[in-house]
């Protein structure tokens, strides 16, 4: 697609804030390796973000300090001139004092930060330093107050954040802690309305009330108060997709500070945000929010807008709970309460977000047969082994059927939740139960490429040659997809998978070789042929492996199959012949190659 344009520009700002930097750098390295003349990339990042940088073919430029200093000074002057909070100081020596003090500290930060706080050594942090202190100075109403704050101004960004946090009034501490924790660890950006509700939880430790409860009356009456409570630590960003505003931490260095060990001990009691306890904190909030919907009439298509955090809580509570505690301790009681004890809250969770069909939006009319068992969802989502065991101990049937994956075992297998697989099998789950999207658990895990889980199922006696009505066999699933895990085919072949079984539905591929040919992966095709796969075996959607390769495989696979004796005249399958398959897919290079091959063969026949 890039080659269709004369010039293409890719601009990526703040690579250091990417949630999956490793995957992004791999992608960028591949793109830059294409050596396309009209492609131009501009990437910006903090200095410490070095992971994968050497693999990207690029010229690295570090902003000159003098240029950055000029920009910072220009920014300070602009704020002092335009912000009404500084109007009182305009044209006075106090405005000059503000500018000179912030500039002096921001400029000096470069040396100090590089030595002491290398994780924040970059020009963006110096701008953030200036922005934080300008915000702090807005509250000064007398020259005395102003001079006092200027003289006590911290010289590092860590010191700046410490000062901001210490300035939060005691009555606002719970609100600030909740907002910052959610913004630091949320699985996606949050809207203003979502953050307002995230701040509206009441926590008790007396044992007479639920540990966490959502309290409508604890919502901020004016959402603008978020910016009073959290001062310079948060900002907003327009979300064009939803026509609303997102709330974010004002700079990535704020999260770096909050999740680090650099927060002083007395502050850490409120604002130390290590990963596990913070995810547990959010998981409990999400569960409390969902448990609030126990009354059938509380959540409806009309009232859902009154609970903006509902979709997030429904979709991500498991993710936070799983990260928060692998043993399932901190959220165990609330999780079981939702899954087993609060029947209507459970149904409303699935109405808001059905893990079986995650791409669908809320369906508040969902009833009856659309609900799967708690064990099914717990297995699919990989809830901690403790929770799955409790469900089984309380009578959940490990062989009940229903849902996209038909059984809890197949759902857990697809996601690679090996510990859950073990618990289900101990409870009597049928390892070779058929049904669902992938026919059986072994085919599901072979498709998804979870090596540990496929080895586990084979070690527990899963039938490697079990045939199903859709995918066919586990080997066919691995050959077609396997999520790029090439080892998967080797594992199944070592387990004596029959490479020539013909199985599966009419929309699938009949044989493992046909599936591999369709995948476009020559290495898979070569492995299967090396293991004895018959080149001209018939079955499945396209009839033959050559037909599948001509339809959607790689040119190299077509060449390989022809060289190995694929019958170019064979008829059958969706398009009738390999040539017709290539014509249908407009693969003109393959079409020409097949015509050449046919011509050579016909000429040889005529010469006999």
**Three-state DSSP string of 463-506:** CCCCCCCCCCCHHHHHHHCHHHCCHHHHHHHHCCCCCCCCCCCC
Assess contact for 141 and 94: CB atoms under 8 A.
Answer: no
Q: What is the pLDDT, as a whole number, of residue 561? A: 95
Alpha carbon distance 107, 66 (integer Å)? 9
> Does the pLDDT at position 48 exceed 80?
no
What is the arrangement of strands in the sheet containing 244-249, beginning at the earlier edge strand? Answer: 190-191, 244-249, 234-239
Mean pLDDT of the 587-602 span: 89
Specify the pLDDT at position 117.
36
Q: Which residue has the higher pLDDT, 554 or 314?
A: 314
Average pLDDT score over residue span 94-123: 64
Confidence of residue 145 (pLDDT cuts 50, 70, 90): very high
Q: Return d(Cα 355, Cα 404) in angstroms, integer.
A: 10
Digit-coded pLDDT (tens) for 6-27 = 788 888 877 766 767 777 777 7
- Among 42-46, 169-173, 332-336, the range scoring the smallest mean pLDDT is 42-46
191-217 confidence digits (pLDDT tens): 999 999 999 999 887 655 568 999 999
**pLDDT of res. 10:** 86
Write out the E strands in 501-565.
Answer: none
Higher pLDDT, 326 or 403: 403
Q: Does position 111 have pLDDT exceeding 60, yes or no?
A: no
Q: What is the pLDDT of residue 205?
A: 72
Mean pLDDT (whole number) for 499-509:
86
Band of residue 46 on the pLDDT scale cut at 50, 70, 90: low
Instruction: Quote the pLDDT of residue 400.
Output: 93
Percent of the chain with pLDDT over 90: 60
Instruction: Give the Cα separation of 513 and 496 in Å (integer).
Output: 16
If you average pLDDT over residues 88-111, what whole number do you get?
Answer: 83
Domain ranges of the chain: 2-55, 65-166
Structure tokens at 133: 């202190």
Q: What is the pLDDT of residue 112?
A: 35
pLDDT of 27 reads 78
Confidence of residue 392 (pLDDT cuts 50, 70, 90): very high
608: pLDDT strictly greater than 70: no
Q: Which tokens is 488 given?
A: 């998967």
Q: Quote the CA–CA distance of 408 and 392 in Å, as a whole number.
A: 11
* Residue-wise pLDDT tens digits, 457-478: 999 999 999 999 999 999 999 9
- Whether residue 181 has pLDDT greater than 50: yes
Would you give the distance in Å from CA 388 to the centre of its chain? 24
Is a pLDDT exceeding 90 seen at residue 45? no
Higher pLDDT, 494 or 108: 494
User: How does the average pLDDT of the chain come out, rounded?
Assistant: 87
Find the range with the poorest average confidence among 60-64, 189-193, 232-236, 527-531: 60-64
pLDDT band at 219 (very low <50, low <70, confident <90, very high): very high
Alpha-carbon dihedral of residues 557, 558, 563, 568, nearest 10 degrees? Answer: 150
- 115 pLDDT band, cuts 50/70/90, is very low
pLDDT band at 62 (very low <50, low <70, confident <90, very high): low
Residue with more model confidence, 208 or 479: 479
- DSSP readout, 371-434? PPPHHHHHHHHT--HHHHHHHHHTT--TT---STTSSHHHHHHHHT-HHHHHHHHHTT--TT--
Write out 260-290 in H/E/C secondary structure.
Answer: CCCCCHHHHHHHCCCHHHHHHHHHHHHHHHH
- Work out the angle between the directed axes of helices 143-151 and 93-116 (0-180°, nearest 10): 20
Give the separation between CA 110 and CA 116, rounded to whole angstroms: 10
């Amino acid at each position: 697609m890039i080659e269709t344009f004369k010039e293409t520009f890719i601009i990526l700002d703040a690579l250091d804030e990417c949630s999956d930097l490793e995957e992004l750098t791999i992608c960028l390295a591949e793109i830059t390796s294409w050596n396309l003349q009209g492609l131009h990339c501009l990437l910006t990042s903090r200095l410490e973000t070095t992971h994968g940088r050497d693999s990207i073919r690029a010229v690295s430029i570090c902003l000159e300090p003098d240029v950055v200093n000029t920009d910072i000074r220009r920014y300070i002057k602009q704020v002092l001139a335009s912000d009404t909070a500084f109007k009182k100081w305009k044209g006075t020596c106090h405005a000059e004092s503000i500018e000179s003090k912030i500039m002096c500290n921001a400029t000096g930060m470069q040396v100090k930060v590089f030595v002491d706080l290398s994780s924040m050594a970059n020009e963006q942090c110096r701008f953030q330093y200036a922005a934080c202190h300008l915000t702090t100075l807005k509250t000064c109403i007398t020259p005395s107050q102003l001079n006092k704050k200027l003289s006590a101004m911290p010289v590092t960004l860590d010191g700046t954040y410490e000062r901001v946090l210490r300035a939060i009034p005691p009555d606002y501490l719970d609100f600030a802690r909740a907002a910052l924790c959610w913004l630091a660890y949320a699985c996606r950006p949050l809207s203003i309305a979502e953050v307002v509700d995230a701040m509206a939880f009441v926590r008790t430790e007396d044992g007479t009330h639920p540990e966490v409860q959502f309290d409508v009356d604890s919502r901020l009456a004016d959402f603008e108060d978020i910016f009073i409570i959290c001062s310079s630590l948060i900002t907003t960003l327009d979300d064009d997709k939803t026509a609303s505003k997102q709330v974010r931490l004002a700079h990535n260095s704020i999260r770096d500070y909050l999740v680090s060990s650099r927060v002083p001990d007395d502050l850490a009691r409120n604002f130390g945000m290590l990963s596990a306890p913070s995810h547990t904190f959010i998981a409990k909030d999400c569960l409390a929010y969902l448990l609030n919907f126990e009354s059938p009439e509380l959540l409806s298509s009309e009232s859902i807008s009154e609970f903006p955090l509902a979709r997030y809580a429904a979709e991500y509570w498991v993710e936070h709970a799983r990260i928060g505690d692998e043993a399932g301790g901190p959220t165990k009681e609330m999780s079981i309460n939702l899954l087993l004890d609060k029947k209507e809250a459970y149904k409303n969770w699935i109405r808001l977000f059905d893990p079986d069909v995650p791409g669908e939006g809320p369906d508040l009319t969902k009833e009856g047969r659309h609900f799967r068992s708690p064990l099914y969802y717990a297995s699919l989502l990989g809830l901690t082994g403790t929770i799955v065991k409790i469900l089984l101990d309380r009578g959940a049937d490990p062989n009940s059927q229903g849902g996209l994956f038909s059984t809890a075992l197949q759902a857990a297998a697809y996601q690679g939740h090996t510990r859950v697989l073990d618990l289900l099998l101990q409870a009597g789950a049928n390892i070779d139960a058929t049904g669902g999207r992938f026919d059986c658990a072994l085919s599901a895990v072979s498709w998804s490429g979870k090596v540990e889980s496929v080895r586990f199922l084979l070690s527990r006696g899963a039938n490697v040659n079990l045939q199903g009505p859709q995918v066919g066999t586990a080997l066919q699933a691995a050959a077609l997809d396997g999520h790029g895990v090439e080892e998967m085919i080797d594992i199944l072949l070592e387990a004596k998978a029959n490479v020539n079984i013909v199985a599966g539905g009419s929309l699938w591929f009949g044989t493992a070789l046909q599936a591999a040919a369709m995948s476009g992966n020559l290495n898979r095709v070569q492995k299967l042929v090396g293991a004895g796969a018959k080149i001209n075996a018939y079955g499945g959607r396209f009839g033959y492996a050559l037909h599948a390769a001509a339809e959607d495989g790689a040119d190299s696979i077509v060449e390989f199959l022809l060289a190995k004796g694929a019958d170019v005249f064979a008829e059958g399958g969706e398009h009738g012949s390999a040539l017709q398959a290539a014509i249908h897919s407009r693969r003109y290079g393959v079409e020409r190659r097949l015509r050449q091959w046919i011509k050579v063969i016909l000429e040889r026949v005529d010469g006999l």
